[in-house]
Amino acid sequence: ISFSCVDSSLSSLKNCQSYINTGMDIATRVALDLVESFNDVEEVDSVEKVMLQYAAMDRELNHYMTAIEETVHQIKRDKPENIPDLQYLVKEKFTALESKNSDSDLQENEKYMYFKDQLKEMRKQFRLQSGDGNESIEQIDEDIAVTQSQVNFICPITQMEMKKPVRNKVCGHVYEEEAILKIIQTRNQQKKKV
């Protein structure tokens, strides 16, 4: 029995797995950028859900490839006289593997664990940096004008009612002063464009 088309299919599945890995890497970078730029918990949570979906796809793909490999290995070992129903045998092994799934499996995915670790580090770093000294507050104050006219705004950064709103002179957007100052300081310290 020739398994060249099975080997070709496995190769294609491994390519799909590399796309999943790339997607997980991109999602991780997006979440880190969200924490760094806006510290938006809701958006980061939605990226985490995407990471879990990727982990589920990765697990399913791994189970399918394992089922194929085990079936081919068994057929090569047993050398049956009649060609068996490969599709049925693979489906049977795949179903057995999938039946052992649990939600905790997803959280043990290597890329997901890396995502969580990086997110934790970025949040920790963000908190440390935002608590650092007031080196360039005077320079920052030149770019922001305090507004008194509208008090009941929701800050686009914190999603909370602003107590001390400030307006950007350049674009006219209004933010909670402390939140925008933290972002500006963080960007300045990282030598990134504000």
- Residues 82, 155, single domain; the answer is no
- Residues 111, 15, single domain; the answer is yes
- Residues 119, 170, single domain; the answer is no
The pTM for the full model equals 0.60
Q: Is residue 177 part of a domain?
A: yes
- Residues 94, 182, single domain; the answer is no
- Residues 181, 115, single domain; the answer is no
Q: Is residue 146 part of a domain?
A: no
Question: What's the rounded Cα separation, in Å, for the pair 140 and 162?
Answer: 19
Please, what sign has the CA dihedral across residues 48, 50, 54, 56? Answer: positive
Domain range holding 65?
A: 3-130
Per-10-residue mean pLDDT, the chain, length 194:
79 89 91 79 89 94 92 86 86 92 87 89 70 46 46 71 80 82 86 74
Provide the pLDDT for residue 91: 94
| Number of domains observed in the structure of the chain | 2
